[in-house]
């Protein structure tokens, strides 16, 4: 997709400047996409409940004038968000009950998850932590030493997952400090980072960031999050290359979303595009049933039919595992 002169000027800025210029109102996003808000099922109420935030680097991959664009559907606040769907809740996967102290979720054996920040570069409307009490439970800088002490005290922990929000919104200096502390713990083998920034704000992946990540003595695993092949543009590929060329293992997780990627052709196209750029398709998640996300749900029955089509079309290494997460379980549950 051609880049306009104004977009090119924006992309020449650093990642912090690009983030500060993200779309935060429905009207501004619609104006950029040449859409009339009157023709869309938008909801200001939904936007107030869960703020809209869309970097231009993501919006630029949307088709202008297309109200059903699959990338737009992921970020546009609409009326369906304020409909109550049975079985949906504010803590759909049992995160809160897994909190052992502020900032630490210890849900699965051998792995601990650090909620480093409550902020994201983009607010995806299907977010399973959109109602998470970050103010009370995210890992502040002051609480970091306590988190490290907890990890030191649990020799069964071999992997630390940096999550959020999005951990790449931390500064390079803060990430470096955290990684150094984890490096000093002998029983930690791997550090895993879950981030959507290489997809939605690829300018965040700089030489300095990659140096910070790859200076670790631990094996570094990076899990990105793309749901549709249209999300992977030249800027995203550049970010991927910076990481993989330094030996970072790259995986992708997707969420199965109605109206976005709920057909086999789209899922196969995403896997092909990912693998062509050095990313291993990892998980395809059934929707976590967070309040406000019911309109994205694809039934488990339909999901099984879809993944069977994918498996019958692609080599096994390109077909992501279909999984769901359930509160109280000690691992993700394989659906097929």
Share of the chain above pLDDT 70, in %: 99
Identify the pLDDT of residue 175: 96
Identify the pLDDT of residue 135: 81
Identify the pLDDT of residue 18: 98
Asked whether residue 216 carries a pLDDT value surpassing 90, the answer given is yes
Q: In this structure, are residues 279 and 269 in contact, taking their beta carbons and an 8 Å threshold?
A: no
Q: In the chain, what are the domains? A: 5-82 (no CATH), 96-334 (3.20.20.70)
Identify the pLDDT of residue 137: 79
Rounded to two decimals, the pTM is 0.95
Tens-digit pLDDT profile for residues 300-309: 999 999 999 9
DSSP per-residue codes, 269-329: HHHHHHHHTT-EEEEEEPPP-BTT-GGG---HHHHHHHHHHHHHHS-GGGSPEEEE--TT-
- From residue 51, alpha-carbon distances to 25, 46, 48, 88 in Å are 9, 8, 6, 20
Identify the pLDDT of residue 2: 67
Confidence label for 1 from pLDDT (cuts 50, 70 and 90): low
Of 101-105, 133-137, 262-266, which has the strongest mean pLDDT? 262-266
Q: 3-state class of 63 per DSSP?
A: coil
* Averaged pLDDT score across all residues of the chain: 95
- Of residues 142 and 154, more confidence is placed in 154
Identify the pLDDT of residue 16: 98
Tens-digit pLDDT profile for residues 40-91: 999 999 999 999 999 999 999 999 999 999 999 999 999 999 999 999 999 9
Phi, psi of 2 (to 5 degrees): -60, 145
Q: What is the mean pLDDT of residues 161-175?
A: 95
């Amino acid at each position: 997709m051609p880049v306009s002169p104004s977009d090119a000027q924006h992309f020449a800025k650093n990642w912090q400047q690009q983030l500060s210029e993200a779309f935060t109102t429905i009207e501004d996003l619609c104006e950029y996409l040449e859409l009339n808000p009157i023709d869309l099922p938008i909801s200001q109420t939904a936007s107030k409940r869960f703020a809209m935030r869309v970097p231009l680097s993501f919006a630029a991959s949307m088709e202008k004038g297309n109200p059903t664009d699959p990338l737009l559907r992921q970020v546009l606040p609409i009326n369906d968000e304020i409909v109550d769907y049975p079985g949906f809740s504010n803590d759909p996967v049992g995160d809160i009950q897994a909190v052992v102290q502020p900032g630490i979720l210890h849900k699965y054996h051998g792995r601990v998850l650090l909620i480093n920040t409550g902020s994201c570069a983009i607010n995806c409307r299907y977010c399973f932590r959109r109602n998470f009490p970050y103010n009370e439970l995210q890992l502040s800088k002051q609480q970091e030493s306590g988190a490290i002490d907890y990890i030191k005290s649990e020799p069964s922990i071999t992997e630390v997952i940096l999550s959020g929000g999005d951990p790449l919104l931390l500064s390079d200096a803060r990430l470096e400090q955290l990684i150094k502390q984890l490096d000093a713990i002998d029983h930690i083998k791997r550090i895993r980072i879950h981030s959507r920034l290489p997809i939605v704000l690829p300018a965040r992946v700089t030489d300095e960031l990659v140096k910070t990540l790859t200076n670790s003595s631990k094996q570094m695993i990076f899990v990105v999050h793309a749901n549709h092949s249209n999300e992977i543009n030249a800027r995203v590929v550049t970010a991927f290359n910076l990481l993989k060329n330094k030996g970072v293992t790259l995986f992708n997780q997707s969420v199965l979303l109605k109206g976005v990627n709920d057909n086999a052709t789209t899922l196969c196209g995403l896997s092909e595009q990912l693998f062509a750029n050095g990313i291993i398709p990892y998980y395809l998640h059934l929707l976590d049933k967070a309040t406000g996300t019911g309109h994205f749900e694809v039934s488990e029955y339909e999901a099984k039919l879809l993944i069977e089509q994918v498996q019958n079309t692609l080599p096994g290494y390109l077909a992501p595992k279909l999984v769901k997460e359930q509160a109280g379980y000690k691992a993700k549950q394989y659906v097929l």
